[in-house]
């Protein structure tokens, strides 16, 4: 019988399953978590060797943590390392941090969180939390045992990522990483930087919100069809992430029994540096096929940043490109609203802020006509169809953390 693959956290020696269970897309029934089915899924994944469970306040409108508290009864809590996150949008004072952690411990029916993250920080959100005393909070919570390890999840640019890595003795971080995000956000450079500082890296969005699994654009599927290896697109994408020795846990937001079984099967043999040159060449061809389909050839290098008017240029282009190459369009609009139009992040950074000053375009090695392209992004993603989604987006990130 093959066994679950475990990878070691450099700073504490924990052996974590290379596949982590993300509790953000659990099976639902009549708009609520299908508790019976989700409990069976999570417990059977733990029985198969998964020992890292990741949740957060906003998942399932605040219900994911509460559900996990119940799901991990009957001895399952002791079998896993539990990760949850401090929601920056709900933190306005140093006291809020203790209050929210207290609520999370109650909801999760536990006396400690094994892996505690600052949720989804980037440059400005990090600075705000830092000034409110978040490092003192983490030190105190570690010292009194409420949390065991501190980390952060991240959606900003590489410069901000390195600054945050250098600012504290983090045990781990969590980044978006997949074969289309090598130069986007933290990217491969960030992954390697974290690893060089002995910071474990948990990977989220290995399938880019499902975009790299299921039905792919024809030009991309043709590349996979040429390979003698008959694998699902999801297996290819996951194997690529696990191929990186710097990656500790790959989080998958699972809700389908067949997908869970497939992920566990793939994880058992997807060791670091296990992919052959031919397999890596297939992935390189897949990336090239995607690049041929995107409307803006932005590599996410961020040389154009910062924009004096606050536009997050690479993120605008990344979402605009996703919109055109098979991502779920409503979800992409929702993300654009949440991340860039002030839905969740404190400052707006969307394409409508562009004043056409032209400063960024001079710095772009890809010679992208950035202001013109941003005008198109704004027309596509910044319009009424996104604005009417904003109340839903805000509802998903409640103002209050309730018990
Ligand atoms: S052209 Fe627009 S995006 Fe570029 S720097 Fe000026 S305001 Fe910012
Ligand atoms: S400089 Fe050009 S390629 Fe780099 S992130 Fe900005 S727009 Fe994209």
Within a 13 Å sphere around the CA of 360, how many CA atoms are in the beta-carbon half? 26
Q: What is the DSSP letter of 168?
A: S
| pLDDT range class, residue 204, cuts 50, 70, 90 | very high
Q: What is the DSSP letter of 174?
A: E
The Cα 266–Cα 242 span in angstroms is 10
Pick the closest to residue 217 from 291, 161, 163, 271 (CA basis): 291
Looking at residue 384, its pLDDT comes to: 86
Looking at residue 316, its pLDDT comes to: 95
For residue 60, is pLDDT > 60? yes
| Residue 6 tokens, joined | 């475990």
Q: Give the distance (Å) from ligand 1 centre to CA of residue 164.
A: 25
The Cα 85–Cα 56 span in angstroms is 5
Please give, one letter per residue, the 3-state secondary structure of 56-109. CCCHHHHHHHHHHHHHCCCCCHHHCEEEEEECHHHCCCHHHHHHHHHHHHHHCC
For ligand 1, what atom is nearest to the CA of residue 361? Answer: 4
Looking at residue 345, its pLDDT comes to: 74
CB 160 within 8 A of CB 193: no
Q: Give the distance (Å) from ligand 1 centre to CA of residue 208.
A: 27
Which secondary structure element, helix H or strand E, spans residue 128, and what is its range? helix 123-132
Looking at residue 147, its pLDDT comes to: 98
| pLDDT range class, residue 19, cuts 50, 70, 90 | very high
DSSP result, 155-223:
-S-HHHHHHHHHTS--SEEEEE-STT-TTSTTHHHHHHHHHHTT-EEEEE-TTTTTTTSSSPPHHHHHH
The number of residues in the chain equals 403
Any idea which of 44-53, 129-138, 362-371 has the lowest mean pLDDT? 362-371
For residue 14, is pLDDT > 90? yes
CB 123 within 8 A of CB 130: no
Residue-wise pLDDT tens digits, 320-379: 999 998 888 898 998 899 888 887 777 899 999 999 999 999 999 889 999 999 999 999
The Cα 73–Cα 149 span in angstroms is 22
Any idea which of 99-103, 159-163, 280-284 has the lowest mean pLDDT? 159-163
Q: Could you tell me which CATH number the domain at 6-284 has?
A: 3.20.20.100
For residue 174, is pLDDT > 90? yes
Which secondary structure element, helix H or strand E, spans residue 343, and what is its range? none
Angle made by CA atoms 387, 391, 395, in degrees to the nearest 5: 145
| pLDDT range class, residue 214, cuts 50, 70, 90 | confident
**What is the pairing mode between strands 147-154 and 81-86?**
unpaired
The Cα 107–Cα 272 span in angstroms is 36
The Cα 230–Cα 175 span in angstroms is 29
The Cα 233–Cα 144 span in angstroms is 45
Q: Is 159 or 94 the better-scoring residue by pLDDT? A: 94
CB 122 within 8 A of CB 159: no
Q: What is the DSSP letter of 179?
A: T
How distant is the alpha carbon of residue 199 from its chain centre? 17
Looking at residue 123, its pLDDT comes to: 76
Q: Give the distance (Å) from ligand 1 centre to CA of residue 356.
A: 5
Looking at residue 347, its pLDDT comes to: 82
Q: Is the CB of 371 under 6 A from ligand 2?
A: no
How distant is the alpha carbon of residue 382 from its chain centre? 23
| Residue 201 tokens, joined | 């890296």
Query: Among 302, 311, 358, 376, which residue has the most ligand 2 atoms within 8 Å of its CB, making it the best to mutate?
Result: 302
The Cα 54–Cα 50 span in angstroms is 11
Average pLDDT, the chain: 93
Domain boundaries, the chain: 6-284, 298-396
Query: Among 304, 321, 365, which residue has the most ligand 2 atoms within 8 Å of its CB, making it the best to mutate?
Result: 304
The Cα 275–Cα 112 span in angstroms is 38
User: Helices 257-267 & 35-47, crossing angle to 10 degrees?
Assistant: 20
Looking at residue 2, its pLDDT comes to: 59
**Ligand 1: which residue has its CA nearest to atom 3?**
354
Which class for 173: exposed (0-12), middle (13-18), buried (19 or more C-beta within 10 A)?
buried
The Cα 182–Cα 185 span in angstroms is 8
Pick the closest to residue 325 from 296, 368, 366, 364 (CA basis): 296
Produce one character per residue of 112-135: b if its CB has 16 or more CB atoms within 10 Å, e if not: ebbbbbbbbbbbbbbebbeebebe
Looking at residue 241, its pLDDT comes to: 98
- Which listed ligand is nearest to 312 at the C-alpha? 1
Q: Is the CB of 359 under 6 A from ligand 1?
A: yes
Produce one character per residue of 245-256: b if its CB has 16 or more CB atoms within 10 Å, e if not: ebbbbbbbbbbe
Q: Give the distance (Å) from ligand 2 centre to CA of residue 13.
A: 38
**Ligand 2: which residue has its CA nearest to atom 3?**
298
How distant is the alpha carbon of residue 78 from its chain centre? 25
Looking at residue 1, its pLDDT comes to: 53
**Ligand 2: which residue has its CA nearest to atom 8?**
298
């Amino acid at each position: 019988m093959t066994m679950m693959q475990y990878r070691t956290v450099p700073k504490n020696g924990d052996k974590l399953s290379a596949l982590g269970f993300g509790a953000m897309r659990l099976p639902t029934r009549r708009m609520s978590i299908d508790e019976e089915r989700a409990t069976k899924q999570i417990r059977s994944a733990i029985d198969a060797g998964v020992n890292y469970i990741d949740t957060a306040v906003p998942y399932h409108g605040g219900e994911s943590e509460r559900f996990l508290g119940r799901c991990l009864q009957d001895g399952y809590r002791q079998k896993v390392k539990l990760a949850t996150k401090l929601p920056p949008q709900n933190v306005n004072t140093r006291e809020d941090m203790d209050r929210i952690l207290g609520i999370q411990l109650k909801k999760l029916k536990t006396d400690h969180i094994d892996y505690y993250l600052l949720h989804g920080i980037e440059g400005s959100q990090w600075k705000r939390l830092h000034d409110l005393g978040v490092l003192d909070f983490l030190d105190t919570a570690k010292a009194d045992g409420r949390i065991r390890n501190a980390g952060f999840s991240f959606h900003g640019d590489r410069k901000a990522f390195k600054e945050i890595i250098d600012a504290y003795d983090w045990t781990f971080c969590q980044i978006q990483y997949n074969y289309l995000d090598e130069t986007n956000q933290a990217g491969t450079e960030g992954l390697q930087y974290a690893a060089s500082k002995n910071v474990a890296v948990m990977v989220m969005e290995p399938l880019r919100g499902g975009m790299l699994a299921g039905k792919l654009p024809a030009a991309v599927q043709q590349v996979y069809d040429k390979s003698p290896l008959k694998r699902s697109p999801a297996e290819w994408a996951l194997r690529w992430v696990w191929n990186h020795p710097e990656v500790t846990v790959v989080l998958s937001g699972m809700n389908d029994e067949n997908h869970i079984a497939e992920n566990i099967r793939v994880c058992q043999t997807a060791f670091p540096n296990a992919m052959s040159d031919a397999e890596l060449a297939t992935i390189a061809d897949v990336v090239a096929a995607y690049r041929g389909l995107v409307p803006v050839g932005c590599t996410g290098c961020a040389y154009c940043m910062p924009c004096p008017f606050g536009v997050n240029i690479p993120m605008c282009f990344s979402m605009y490109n996703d919109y055109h190459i098979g991502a779920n369009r409503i979800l992409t609009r929702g993300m654009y609203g949440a991340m860039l139009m002030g839905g969740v992040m404190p400052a707006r950074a969307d394409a409508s802020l562009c004043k056409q000053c032209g400063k960024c375009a001079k710095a772009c090695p890809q010679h992208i006509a950035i202001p013109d392209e941003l005008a198109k992004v704004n027309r596509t993603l910044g319009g009424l169809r996104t604005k009417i989604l904003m109340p839903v987006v805000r509802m998903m990130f409640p103002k209050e953390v309730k018990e």
